[in-house]
């Protein structure tokens, strides 16, 4: 298949020709290639000097990094830096590819960049970031200590249950705030800060930030709602739920909206187990390949697992009976899982948004930024309450266009995004409340549970 993700302004059309399979072998710190707009670059000697730190280049090595590159850089500006590392061209593609940035893409990006420049605002920093982090970690440590180290509470199971729920909510907030911010490099410009914040997910939630980076930043954010490329919508055959028309229909999907949401409570448990399978057994999260781990990532991966077991199981077992440890653990996990799963589903797994598919050449016939808008649903922009407790996922469209900007700035740039969408005739999907947005997910489940039309009889069973 001919690679069409090519920059028409590029004069780099010589050197070796690489297939995507050949590119995958160059995915280590001492042998790192990336492809951007059809050009292949040897960035091995640049990794240590990258202003954004080495992690993102280690994750991107061995693959087409076009959309990630264009998302986190000013369009066209870094080309002079890349030029010196050019070694050849990519002639085939592993995953769907996109058209060059169109006028909408360039305009919305320019307007947002100008907003921060004109107003002399740091898009990656704000005092409210650190206040929220302080509240989250205080709630997490405080609720944990209350459950197991305050005698008055330890003697009263009902109070322990309350604090177990607080711990679950605080754990979810780690995923929605420090982890999410650091995985998009949207809090400060310091790679060390990102490493530390990412690691909090491993240690306090027992889940790998590394796996999250591949699934979320290199998978979901690039290939939103694209079947076979977005790990967030991967389904088995058969699966516990039907969310895509391409899935085979089974009679058990009828009224799935009445029972599937309850299964979301297993999310945390599922993720911790899948981490090990993905990294050490299959080496891929759906179609997103996992590159070899360096010493830091290996240490955080296993160090986080060990600390989590000590923190949440071993230490409590020395204080309260096993049945109580198990009960409180499950309650905490259920709260964490439900909160994360329900807030995630309301943005993309809804009937209102689009589910794009590539053409026969693997090309998505839309500009990437435009696709982000039409595959995403926002809600409750005017609610500080919802913005605070869902990690600004109510500004998901803004976030998908500008993940490198702090979520604490989304309210400032949302009007720019909405106005630009209106100007270019691009639908901006929005619900007034969280409950309306979540309701659209429930309705999507209901519709996907209905028997397909007779002409689609290949999917009946």
Q: What is the pLDDT of residue 461?
A: 52
pTM above 0.85, yes or no: yes
Residue 80 has pLDDT above 90, yes or no: no
Q: What is the pLDDT of residue 15?
A: 81
Segment 383-403, tens digit of pLDDT = 999 999 999 999 999 999 999
Question: DSSP per residue over 389-402, as a string?
Answer: HTTTGGGHHHHHH-
Q: What is the pLDDT of residue 3?
A: 47
Percent of the chain with pLDDT over 70: 95
Strand partners, 17: 89
Residue 260 has pLDDT above 90, yes or no: yes
Q: What is the pLDDT of residue 13?
A: 55
Segment 160-215, tens digit of pLDDT = 999 999 999 999 999 999 999 999 999 999 999 999 999 999 999 999 999 999 99
Question: DSSP per residue over 319-361, as a string?
Answer: TS-HHHHHHHHHHHHHHHHHHHHHHHHHHHSSSSS------TT
Residue 457 has pLDDT above 60, yes or no: no
* pLDDT, average across residues 211-232: 96
Q: What is the pLDDT of residue 75?
A: 75
User: Which of 405, 380, 408, 395 lies closest to 111 in space, CA to CA?
Assistant: 405
Q: What is the pLDDT of residue 200?
A: 98
Segment 95-125, tens digit of pLDDT = 999 999 999 999 999 999 999 999 999 999 9
Assigned token pair, 74: 């000013």
Task: Name residue, tokens 């600390």.
Answer: 307
Residue 356 has pLDDT above 90, yes or no: yes
Question: DSSP per residue over 252-308, as a string?
Answer: GGTTGGGTHHHHGGGHHHHHHHHHHHIIIII-EETTEEPPPP-HHHHHHHHHHHHHH
Contact yes or no for 20/90 (Cβ under 8 A): yes
Q: What is the pLDDT of residue 1?
A: 42
φ/ψ of residue 26, rounded to 5: -105, 70
End-to-end Cα separation, the chain, in angstroms: 34
Q: What is the pLDDT of residue 77?
A: 63
Task: Name residue, tokens 């492809």.
Answer: 35
80-84, 147-151, 210-214, 414-418: least confident range: 80-84
User: Over the chain, what is the mean pLDDT?
Assistant: 93
Segment 142-165, tens digit of pLDDT = 999 999 999 999 999 999 999 999
Q: What is the pLDDT of residue 460?
A: 52
Structural domains present in the chain? 16-94 (3.10.120.10), 127-348 (no CATH)
3-class DSSP state for residue 413?
helix
Confidence band, pLDDT 50/70/90 cuts, at residue 22: very high
Q: What is the pLDDT of residue 5?
A: 54
**More confident call, 9 vs 103:** 103
Q: In whole angstroms, how far apart are CA 370 and each of 374, 417, 431? A: 7, 11, 19
Confidence band, pLDDT 50/70/90 cuts, at residue 78: low
What span, in angstroms and rounded, lies between the C-alpha atoms of 88 and 103? 28
């Amino acid at each position: 298949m001919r690679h069409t993700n090519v920059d028409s302004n590029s004069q780099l059309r010589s050197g070796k020709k690489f297939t995507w399979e050949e590119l995958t072998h160059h995915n280590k710190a001492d042998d790192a290639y990336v492809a951007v707009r059809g050009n292949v670059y040897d960035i091995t000697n640049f990794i240590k000097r990258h202003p954004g730190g080495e992690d993102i280049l280690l994750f991107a090595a061995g693959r087409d990094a076009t959309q990630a590159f264009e998302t986190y850089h000013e369009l066209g500006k870094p080309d002079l830096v890349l030029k010196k590392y050019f070694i050849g061209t990519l002639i085939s593609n592993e995953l769907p590819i996109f058209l060059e940035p169109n006028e909408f893409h360039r305009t919305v990006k320019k307007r947002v960049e100008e907003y921060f420049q004109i107003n002399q605002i740091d898009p990656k920093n704000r005092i409210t970031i650190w206040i929220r982090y302080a509240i989250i970690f205080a709630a997490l440590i405080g609720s944990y200590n209350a459950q197991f180290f305050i005698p008055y509470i330890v003697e009263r199971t009902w109070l322990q249950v309350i604090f177990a729920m607080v711990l679950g909510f605080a754990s979810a907030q780690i995923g929605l705030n420090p982890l999410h911010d650091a995985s998009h490099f949207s809090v400060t410009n310091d790679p060390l800060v990102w490493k530390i914040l990412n690691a909090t997910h491993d240690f306090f939630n027992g889940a790998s930030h590394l796996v999250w980076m591949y699934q979320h930043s290199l998978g979901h954010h690039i290939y939103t709602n694209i079947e076979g490329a977005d790990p967030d919508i991967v389904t088995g055959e058969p699966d516990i739920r039907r969310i895509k028309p391409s899935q085979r229909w089974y009679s058990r999907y009828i009224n799935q909206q009445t029972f599937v949401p309850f299964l979301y409570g297993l999310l945390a448990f599922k993720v911790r187990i899948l981490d090990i399978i993905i990294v050490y057994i299959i080496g891929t999260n759906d179609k997103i390949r996992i590159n070899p781990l360096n010493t830091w990532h290996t240490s955080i991966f296993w160090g986080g697992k060990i600390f989590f077991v000590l923190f949440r199981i071993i230490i409590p077992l020395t204080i309260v009976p096993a049945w109580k440890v198990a009960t409180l653990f499950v309650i905490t996990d259920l709260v964490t899982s439900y909160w994360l799963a329900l807030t995630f589903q309301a943005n993309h797994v809804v009937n209102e948004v689009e589910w794009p598919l590539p053409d026969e050449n693997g090309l998505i016939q839309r500009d990437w930024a435009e696709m982000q808008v039409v595959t995403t649903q926002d809600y409750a922009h005017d609610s500080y309450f919802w913005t605070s407790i869902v990690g600004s996922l109510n500004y998901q469209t803004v976030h998908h266009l500008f993940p490198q900007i702090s979520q604490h700035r989304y309210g400032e740039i949302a009007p720019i995004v909405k106005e630009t969408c209106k100007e270019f005739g691009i639908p901006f999907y929005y619900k007034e409340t969280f409950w309306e947005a979540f309701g659209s997910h429930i309705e999507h489940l209901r519709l996907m549970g209905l028997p397909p039309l007779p002409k689609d009889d290949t999917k009946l069973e």
